[in-house]
Chain A
C-alpha cells in the first residue's frame, strides 16, 4: 500500500505509513442500499446482542421532503419519546414529543435532486434488559439556500433488548442510492 501524502500550505509535505487495524471493536453488521424501485421502510433485523452499542450511518434521498422515523423491535405503539434541537439556517427551534408511535427521525432530506440527507445515530446499551433504550442522532441536509441541521434524542420506553431497527419514510419513499449501514461497537 503506497504511503498517504499530506501536504501543507507552506509547501512542505510528509508521507505517512498507512496501516490497517489488526482487529477492532467497531464492526460492520449490515448495509441496506435502496434500489431503483425505492423503499418505504428499511429494517435491520436479527441484530446480535454481542455488542455494547449500535451506530447507524448513512445518506437519505427522496423525491419529496422526507424523514426516516425510527421504531424498535416492530413496536408501533405509543412507547416513544423524543426531543430535537433544530437549525434551518435562519431560525432555531426545539420540539418534544411524548407517547409517540416512533422516535422522530434520524435522517432528513429536502427531496430535491441535489440535496442529500446525512446522519449518524447511536443506539446506546441496546442489549441491556435493565433499562429503556436511548437513541441520539446528528442529522443534516443542505441544499444551497435551504438546510436543516438537528440534534435528536429519543427514548424507547421498553427494557427489552433491541433486536430490530426499522426506518420508515414519513412521506413517500427512500429513493435509489439511499444507503443505511448498521455497525456494532464492543464494550
Chain B
C-alpha cells in the first residue's frame, strides 16, 4: 500500500509574526493537514484563509467548551474561517484538516480541533465558497501575533 501523510514544509518562528503562509502547495495530495503548536501575544481566536482570498467568502461553525460553558456560534460571509482559541504561552495545539483541497468541483471544507489548555477546547468547521484548488494556506491570530518559537507543519495525505 502506498505510504502517505507526507510532511510538505515546516517552520519554527524566530520572531513574533502576524501571519504564516504556506504557498505553492502542490496539487498531488488529497487532503492537507496543518498541525501547529503556538502561542500569541494576547489571547484571541485564530483563523485560516486560503489562496490569499480576503473577501467575504468564508463561513464557519464552532463548538467550544470553556470549563464553565458549552457554546456554539457561527460566522457568515466572513473574511476567514475560525479554528479556535490561542493563549499567551506556547501550549495551544491545533489540527486543521483541509479535505479534498485540490478538486475543482466542490467548495472547500475544513474540520479542525483546537486545544488551548488555559482557555478552551474547540471543534470547528469552515467553508470556503470557491471551487478552485487550494494552493496556499494562511494561519493568522485575530489582532495579535504568533509568538517566537511557535511551530507549524503542513502535511499532504494522498489517497490510493
Contacts and interface: CB of A to CB of B under 8 A. Distances in A.
Q: Do A and B bind each other?
A: yes
A147 B61 contact: yes
Interface string A11-29: 0001010111101111111
B54 interface: no
B159 A140 contact: no
Interface stretch (B38-46, B85-93, B119-127): B119-127
23 contacts: A2-B24, A4-B9, A4-B24, A6-B9, A10-B17, A21-B5, A26-B3, A26-B4, A28-B1, A57-B99, A58-B99, A58-B100, A59-B100, A87-B72, A91-B72, A92-B71, A116-B127, A118-B111, A120-B97, A138-B97, A144-B127, A148-B125, A151-B63
A86 interface: yes
A23 B6 CA distance: 10
A98 to B, nearest CB: 23
Interface residues of B, number: 58
A90 B71 CA distance: 8
A145 interface: yes
Interface in B1-39: 1-11, 15, 17-25, 30-31
